[in-house]
C-alpha cells in the first residue's frame, strides 16, 4: 500500500562514535549507511569501544567535536577537544588530547574489534530497562556486545541508518520537556504524520530506498548532559513510557527506528520521501 509523502527535515552524521554530531545539507548513503558516519571510535585500555552509553565514565565524549573533512585530500577527520587545537584523527597527538580530556587512556581507530563490546550504565528511570537486560538491574553497570559493529564495518549499534520523525519528537517534548534532536542522535529526521513501522519502505529523494527494521531501543545517553543541554532524567522517564515489543527480544523503551539500505544514493535536506507498507 502506498503511503504519504514526507520531507527530509535534517541530516546528521557522527564521524566519531559518541562525539557530537554534525548537521549536513546532504550526504551519500551507501549500503552500510551515511558516508563517514561512525567511521571512527575510541578504544579503551581494556579493549572496549568508548561509548557515552555509560555517561558517568564516558559522558565527556559528548563534548568532543569530530568533523569530516571531505574537501581535504583523502578526506580525514578532525578531532576538536575542548580547549585544544583541532587534531587529525589517527595521530598520537589526537590520542593524547582525548586521553587527557577523558581521564583515561584511549586510542582512536577505524578498525572494529573482532568482538565489539562496550561498557553501559543502565538508567534508573522507570521503564528504561529492556526485558532482555532485566537481570542487570536498573542503575547497574554492564558489558554488552555491539551487534551492528563487525570487522571491516562501522561502529554502529544496529541498523545502517537511524531515523526519527518530527511528529514523534513533538510528542516526546509534550510528554517530557524539551527533546532536542541532538539527544536522539539520528541520521535522518523526517517530517511525517505517522511513525514508520517495521517492514515499511521509505523512498528518500530520487535514489535512496530504506526498509525499516526495528524500533530503536534507548539507553541512558538521551538524558546525559552535553554542550548547551543539561542532564534530563525527565526525558528518560518520557522515553520509558514508550515501551514496545521487539520480536524475539521483548519489550523495551524505544524512540526512532533502525533501517537498512535497499538502494544507495545521495539525500539532501528538503528531499521528498515516500513511506509505503
What is the secondary structure of 134-173 as a DSSP string? GGG-TT-EEEEE-TT--TTS---SSSSEEEEEHHHHHHHH
Predicted local distance difference test score (pLDDT) of residue 71: 53
Question: Quick check: 11 and 25 in contact, CB under 8 A?
Answer: yes
Q: What is the mean predicted confidence (pLDDT) over 223-230? A: 95
pLDDT confidence bin for 4, thresholds 50/70/90: low
Residue 33 pLDDT greater than 70, yes or no: yes
Predicted local distance difference test score (pLDDT) of residue 75: 64
Residue 73 pLDDT greater than 60, yes or no: no
Predicted local distance difference test score (pLDDT) of residue 260: 97
Cell of 96: 593524547
Residue 2 pLDDT greater than 60, yes or no: no
The beta-strand segments (E) located in the chain are 2-13, 22-24, 26-30, 33-34, 41-44, 65-68, 77-80, 87-88, 106-109, 117-121, 141-145, 161-165, 188-191, 201-204, 208-217, 243-246, 250-263, 265-268, 272-276
Torsion region of 238: left, alpha or beta (phi above 0 gives left; psi -120 to 50 gives alpha)? alpha
Mean pLDDT, the chain, whole residue set: 93
Burial of 185 (0-12, 13-18, 19+ CB in 10 A): buried
Percent of the chain with pLDDT over 70: 97
**Structural domain spans, the chain:** 2-36+115-276
pLDDT confidence bin for 26, thresholds 50/70/90: very high
CATH superfamily of 2-36+115-276: PK beta-barrel domain-like (2.40.33.20)
Predicted local distance difference test score (pLDDT) of residue 1: 41
Q: What is the mean predicted confidence (pLDDT) over 247-255? A: 94
pLDDT confidence bin for 134, thresholds 50/70/90: confident
Rounded to whole angstroms, the Cα distance separating 33 from 30 reads: 5
Residue 52 pLDDT greater than 50, yes or no: yes
- For 162-218, write each residue's pLDDT tens digit: 999 999 999 999 998 789 999 999 999 999 878 899 999 999 999 999 999 999 999
Kindly report the length of the chain: 277
DSSP letter, residue 105: -
Q: What does DSSP say about strands 272-276 and 201-204: parallel, antiparallel, or unpaired? A: antiparallel
Percent of the chain with pLDDT over 90: 85
Predicted local distance difference test score (pLDDT) of residue 69: 87
pLDDT confidence bin for 6, thresholds 50/70/90: confident
Amino acid at each position: 500500500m502506498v503511503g504519504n509523502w514526507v520531507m527530509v527535515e535534517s541530516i546528521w552524521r557522527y564521524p566519531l562514535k559518541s562525539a557530537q554530531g554534525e548537521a549536513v545539507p546532504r550526504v551519500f548513503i551507501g549500503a552500510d549507511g551515511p558516508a563517514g558516519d561512525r567511521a571512527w571510535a575510541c578504544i579503551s585500555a581494556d579493549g572496549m569501544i568508548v561509548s557515552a552509553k555509560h555517561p558517568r565514565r564516558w559522558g565527556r565524549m559528548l563534548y568532543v567535536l569530530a568533523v569530516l573533512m571531505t574537501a581535504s585530500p583523502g578526506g580525514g577527520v578532525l578531532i576538536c577537544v575542548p580547549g585544544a587545537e583541532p587534531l587529525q584523527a589517527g595521530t598520537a597527538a589526537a590520542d593524547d588530547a582525548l586521553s587527557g580530556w577523558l581521564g583515561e587512556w584511549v586510542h582512536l581507530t577505524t578498525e572494529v574489534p573482532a568482538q565489539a563490546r562496550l561498557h553501559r550504565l543502565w538508567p534508573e528511570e522507570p521503564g528504561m530497562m529492556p526485558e532482555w537486560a532485566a537481570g542487570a538491574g536498573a542503575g547497574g553497570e554492564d558489558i554488552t556486545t555491539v551487534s551492528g559493529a563487525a570487522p571491516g564495518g562501522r561502529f554502529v549499534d544496529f541498523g545502517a541508518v537511524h531515523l526519527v520523525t518530527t511528529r514523534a519528537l513533538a510528542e516526546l517534548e509534550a510528554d517530557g520537556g524539551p527533546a532536542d534532536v541532538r539527544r536522539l542522535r539520528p541520521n535522518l529526521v523526517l517530517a511525517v504524520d505517522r511513525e514508520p513501522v517495521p517492514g515499511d519502505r521509505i523512498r528518500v529523494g530520487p535514489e535512496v530506498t530504506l526498509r525499516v527494521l526495528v524500533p530503536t531501543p534507548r539507553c541512558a545517553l538521551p538524558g546525559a548532559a552535553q554542550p548547551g543541554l543539561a542532564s534530563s532524567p525527565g526525558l528518560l522517564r518520557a522515553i520509558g513510557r514508550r515501551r514496545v515489543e521487539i520480536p524475539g527480544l521483548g519489550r523495551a523503551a524505544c524512540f526512532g527506528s533502525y533501517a537498512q539500505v535497499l538502494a544507495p544514493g545521495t539525500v539532501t535536506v528538503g528531499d521528498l520521501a515516500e513511506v509505503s507498507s
